[in-house]
Structure 1
Amino acid sequence: MEEILPGGDMTRVVRVGDTVRRATGPWTPAIHALLDHLRSRGFDRAPEALGTDEQGREIISLLPGAVATYPLAAYVMTDRMLVAVARMIREYHDATADFRPPDDTQWQWPAHEPAEVLCHNDFAPYNLMFEGQELVGVIDFDTASPGPRVWDLAYTAYRFVPLTDPANPDVPYPGVAEQRRRLALFVSAYGIATIAPADVVAIAVKRLRELVEFIVEQAAAGDPAQQAVLDRGDTVIYERDIAYLEANRSGLSSK
């Protein structure tokens, strides 16, 4: 018996017993190799790849807990959770540092240089699993691709600090001073001395611009999921947040 799971904005996701099933893509073999690699490195907070079913859908293990949904519960935006998220993404990055994808790998999301790790590219509340008020796992690796650590950190900081304009409808606006404090806490908890808050802000601008371009291009190419994203006005929100970050770079990253 199949149960449709919440989320799945891009593809239909169903539960069958203790497994999750959804459509595959050209990137699926590399993503399954990545999931296998994570297990071999002791990172067990990602799903286990279990092959494909008779309908050609990928099979992955079902993680405990549930993702966070908007509007976010208060505990998701606490300092304690911000530190937990930073430490989990550091643990994930470290586990991928020696991953070597197959030569014929096709990534859904573009790779970026330097290719220090396998970026998750969407390490956000809606892809993190929570039990009670504890962070327990991460899902949805389909957009993973090689890139620098700070590329991943930028989008996660955007979602969790949050690095957003006052008009962003998803999260309450905390003010520049609080954004600066939480960004510094997030970067410190991640723990790479060469990555500074200013780097995260600068890359967040590039990351959001690329996201807008991706949505517009895919919608124009006939992707119904991205057309729906475009129609509901997400790119307008991202463009406004980009302008906010550009206008407040020094205030967000100065001590």
Structure 2
Amino acid sequence: MEILSGGRENAIFKRNDTVVRPLNSYSSSIHLLLQHFEKQGIEGVPRFVAIDGDNEVVTFVEGQTVNYPLSGAAASDAAVKSAGKLLRCLHDASVGFIADASYKYQQWMLPVREPVEVMCHGDYAPYNVALVGNEVVGIFDFDTAHPAPRLWDLAYAIYCWAPFKTHVYDKLGELPDQIYRAKLFCDAYGMTKSQRQQLVATMIERLQALVDFMKQQATEGNTQFIANLADGHHLSYLADIDYLQQNGKQIIAGLME
């Protein structure tokens, strides 16, 4: 088996055309969601295959994978547009999943957030997609999926794709470039005027929720998040919150043009 990079070190493997990943307490909920997408005929998402001991087996999503700093295909306009279109497709397809109130009794990594409109991916970032050429054709790692408003998912996705990041490793371009890319995503998704007006405030709220979640998990003994805090990962998010607060009016103005 081939070890796949990213995520949990030496814990995720590619076996033929499948991926073998450790099971989590919420995995059965994710499997139901993936099966729903399969029934809807949604392409580019993993298919649940089987449970293998302490692991889950899902199909491998074909395509090129990327990470920060963004460059080449992942930094192209086409990638941003296709990412927005694919997220809209996933959100729309998930409406039927939450129509059945049983989602309330499922376990999710992240808390359910009202008003529930769709199933959010929760981490719709460039490192969780697959590209063919400049087109985003697939999305994987649904561990953070949870019921929430569309804008909750959009806020983090656009933050990651613009990206409105200040760390030298993660940054791409200056503020006008970031606003341009954010607007491409908004337009491709078909975001409403109201959603655009609320986007920056929701990004700030989403990032603060992420920092709070990291601290909570570290307090509960989660070694991954203990290491993340020790490395100062949360400080980058706090710096990005400041950046969004300072430039929020300009960002919203650009999105509304």
Q: Give the TM-score normalised by the residue count of structure 2.
A: 0.91
2:11 maps to 1:19: no
Note the alpha carbon deviations across 1:152-192, whole angstroms, 9 max, x for none: 11111011111223x443122x3333333332222121113
Corresponding residue for residue 69 of structure 2 = 71
**Amino acid in structure 2 at the alignment position of 1:147:** A
Q: Give ranges in structure 1 of 5+ residues lacking alignment.
A: none
CA contact (8 A) 2:152 2:206 kept: yes
Summarize the alignment of residues 235-254 of structure 1 with structure 2, pairs less than 5 Å apart. Answer: 235-254=234-253
Counterpart CA distance in 2 for 1:45 and 1:71 is 24
Distance 1:162 1:188, change over 3 A: same
Between the aligned partners of 2:40 and 2:161, the Cα distance in structure 1 is: 26
Displacement of 1:11: 8.0
The 2-side partners of 1:233 and 1:11 are apart by 23
Aligned to 1:109: 110
Paired letter, 1:120: H
Query: Relative to structure 1, is the Cα distance of residues 72 and 175 closer, same or farther in structure 2, using a 3 angstrom cutoff?
Result: closer
Q: Determine the C-alpha separation between the residues in 2 that align with 1:113 and 1:177.
A: 32
Q: Check if 1:122 corresponds to 2:123.
A: yes
What SS does the corresponding residue of 1:89 show, helix, strand or coil? helix
Partner of 1:233 in structure 2?
Answer: 232
Partners of 1:52 and 1:11 in 2: CA distance:
19
What's the secondary structure of 1:97's corresponding residue?
helix
Could you tell me how far apart the structure 2 residues matched to 1:66 and 1:34 are? 24
Structure 2: tracts of 5 or more residues without a match: none
| 1:161 maps to amino acid | A
Q: Which residue of 2 aligns with 1:85?
A: 83
TM-score for both structures, normalised by structure 1: 0.92
Q: Where has structure 1 moved over 6 Å in runs of 4 or more?
A: none
Does the 8 Å contact 1:119/1:147 carry over to 2?
Answer: yes
Q: Percent identity?
A: 35
Taking a change above 3 Å as real, the CA distance of residues 136 and 185 of structure 1, as seen in their structure-2 partners, is closer
Structure 1 residues 147 and 11 mapped into 2: Cα distance closer, same or farther (>3 Å)? farther
Q: Secondary structure at the match of 1:143?
A: coil
